[in-house]
Structures are given as structure tokens and as C-alpha cells.
Amino acid sequence: MIPIKNPEAIRRMREACTVAATILARLKEQVRPGITTYDLDQIGRDLIASFGARSAPYGYKHGSGRPYPAHTCLSVNEEVVHGIGSLKRILRDGDIISVDVTVEYNGYIGDNAVTVPVGAIAPRVAELLTVTEEALRLGIRQAAVGNRIGDISHAVQTYVEARGFSIVREMVGHGVGRTMHEEPQIPNFVDRKRNRTDEIRPGMTLAIEPMVNLGGHAVRTLSDGWTVVTADGTPSAHFEHTVLTTDAGPEILTIPPAA
Ligand code: MF3
Ligand code: CO
Ligand code: CO
């Protein structure tokens, strides 16, 4: 069953998502050549604390593995998602970095990510970023009441693959609410008949998050138990928003307040 949020839950989701988006906007401004991903994560930790929020990834466990040790997820170049800030990873001109901020605020969770260039990047890598961001936009557009979850998947996959990039299959988007990962799963590819996936109804809060590789779709996990990298070492991009479904259409919740 996909949770349907009541008005009070939606109000709190709005707040959590606004906080998550504001933190992400500030953190991504800190990306520059010479900074380490450890320092970025520490800035993220301080920003989260300054809003009275809590990092949802920090201490998060999956399976029997070790708890996630960082406050934000920072994934450079061939790292797809769940990269752990490190003093050894110094950003250089030409890199890209996915900055993923997930916070709990007043009992609800907002989840969002962007991939940003570090200095000047190669044209095909720049295209990877614009295509992944546009795929997210097209996916969000399909998050309309009466559509199915598979319509989101189909829109993302079709657009990305037509441009010669590949979709990561091992991780998917998800419902989000009191917990970081709720039903439904939102794959970025069609893995079963679209008309067998769940119908979208008003009051769902969905984290839509295409992960797109420049090379092949295969990924593997590093020995730290978390960092997912492309198998062929090519760069990967990731954009994410938390979206509320309404009768008036999808509404992106992870937007910072107008300045
Ligand atoms: N932000 C991630 C997502 O988009 C979740 C973080 S996974 C963790 O779903 F293990 F790092 F917590
Ligand atoms: Co995320
Ligand atoms: Co997510």
C-alpha cells in the first residue's frame, strides 16, 4: 500500500522538503576545485544542525552492513550514489559531484539531489548532466493523478536512452514520508507492464531520482559497503526531487523559498 498523506502530514512534508532544498542549495555553492568531500560533508552537517534538522542517512543501516557514516551523500565522477565524504577526495577542475541531502524535520523527511560541475567539464559530461536533469523533469511531469508509477519510469528511460546514455537499475526512486524509503519503488526503467504498476493518487509524496551513466549501466559497490560506482569507470549523474501528487498536478516540494 502506498501511503496517502493527510493535510497535516503534507504540511510537515512541505517544511521538511523546504529545509532539505535550502540546505542543498547552500551546500552546492561550496563545491569548488580544491575542497575535499570530507569538508563538504562537514559543511552539510553544520547546515543540517543549523536548521534543527537531522541527517536521515547518518547511521542508516541496510541489511547487516555497517551504518552509513556521513551526513550527506557526495558522489564524484564514476561514483553513482552513496559516496562518503573523504579527506582523500579533493575536487579538481573537470569533476562532477552528486550532492544528495536527505533530512528529517519535525518527523518527516525531504530528499533531494543535484549533480554539479567542478570548474569546466567535458562537453559529453555536460550533456550527461543536462539529460539527467531533463529526465527528472519529464519523470515528474508524469507523476499525475490517474497515471501509473510505470509512466514515470517509461518517460525517464525513453528520454535517457534516446540520447545514448544508460539507466542505473540497482537503485530506484521511492515514496518518502516519516521514513526515508516507503512504497512505492520508482524504477527509472520499465521492468514490468506499465499498467500493472500502482496508480498515482492524490497525497502521495514521491522521491524521483534518475541515476544515469555515460557508459554502460552496470554498477558495483566498493568495499566500504556503500559507495556505488560504475563498473566501467565512466561518469554518472543523479538528480532528485521530492514531489507531492495532487489533483492539480505534480508539485515539487524540494524547492528553496524565493529569496
Ligand atoms: N538520499 C538517498 C536516496 O535518495 C538515501 C541515502 S542512502 C543512505 O534515497 F544509506 F545513505 F542513507
Ligand atoms: Co536522495
Ligand atoms: Co531518494
Q: Is the pTM of this model over 0.95?
A: yes
Place of cell 518527516: 108
Closest residue CA from atom 10 of ligand 1: 57
**189: pLDDT confidence band, cut at 50, 70 and 90?**
very high
**258: pLDDT confidence band, cut at 50, 70 and 90?**
confident
Tell me how far apart the alpha carbons of residues 88 and 242 are, in angstroms, rounded to a whole number. Answer: 31
Domain annotation for the chain: domains and CATH numbers: 7-252 (3.90.230.10)
**105: pLDDT confidence band, cut at 50, 70 and 90?**
very high
Strands (E), the chain: 54-55, 73-76, 79-81, 96-105, 108-117, 166-167, 173-175, 182-186, 205-208, 211-213, 219-221, 228-230, 236-238, 241-244, 251-252
Tell me how far apart the alpha carbons of residues 78 and 214 are, in angstroms, rounded to a whole number. Answer: 9
Place of cell 499525475: 144
Q: Assess contact for 205 and 241: CB atoms under 8 A.
A: no
Q: Assess contact for 81 and 228: CB atoms under 8 A.
A: yes
Q: Is the dihedral of CA 246, 212, 103, 25 positive or negative?
A: negative
As a whole-number percent, the residues of the chain with pLDDT over 90 amount to 95
Pocket test for ligand 1, best of 102, 132, 136 (most atoms within 8 A of CB): 102
Q: What mean pLDDT is predicted for residues 24-48?
A: 98
Q: Assess contact for 119 and 94: CB atoms under 8 A.
A: yes
Tally Cβ neighbours within 10 Å of residue 199: 13
- For position 56, what pLDDT does the model report? 98
Pocket test for ligand 1, best of 17, 111, 208 (most atoms within 8 A of CB): 111
- For position 193, what pLDDT does the model report? 86
CA 41–ligand 1 middle distance (angstroms): 14
As a whole-number percent, the residues of the chain with pLDDT over 70 amount to 100
Q: What mean pLDDT is predicted for residues 30-49?
A: 98
Tell me how far apart the alpha carbons of residues 39 and 71 are, in angstroms, rounded to a whole number. Answer: 11
- For position 65, what pLDDT does the model report? 87
- For position 259, what pLDDT does the model report? 72
Ligand 1, CB cutoff 6 Å, lining residues: 57, 60, 68, 73, 82, 100, 102, 111, 180, 207, 209, 240
